Amino acid sequence: MVKYKVWIENEKCISDAVCAHLCPDVFEMNEEYKATIVPQYRVNDNPTEGIVPEELKDCVEQAAAACPVQIIHVEPVEE
Ligand code: SF4
């Protein structure tokens, strides 16, 4: 089954919340108003890296495409 690795270069986040708006199942804003992965999909409790199921691929890719500084990355992983 294909899942998707998602990671955010969150130190470069400009805090416009576009990703959290387009794909709230995967992205949220932290206390410093930087984008993070929601706890449910984090890898090793890392707030900037996650693994999401295939049904969330489209919304993640939409968010990645819409991010004005292009710091959201998505790639398939085999499980
Ligand atoms: S869309 Fe990009 S810049 Fe905007 S909050 Fe998300 S990661 Fe940060």
Please report which confidence band the pLDDT of residue 22 belongs to, taking 50, 70 and 90 as the band edges.
Answer: very high
Domains along the sequence of the chain with CATH: 2-78 (3.30.70.20)
pLDDT tens by residue, 31-57: 999 999 999 999 999 999 999 999 999
Ligand 1 mutation pick, 8, 12, 16, 25, max ligand atoms within 8 A of CB: 16
Report which ligand 1 atom has the smallest distance to the Cα of 27. 6
Between the CA atoms of 71, 24, 17 and 11, what dihedral angle is there, to the nearest 10 degrees? -40
Q: What is the Cα–Cα distance from 23 to 42, expressed in whole angstroms? A: 15
Q: Find the mean pLDDT for residues 2-25.
A: 98
Tokens of 44: 């090793």
Q: Find the mean pLDDT for residues 25-29.
A: 98
Strands (E), 30-71: 35-37, 42-43, 46-53
Report which ligand 1 atom has the smallest distance to the Cα of 10. 7
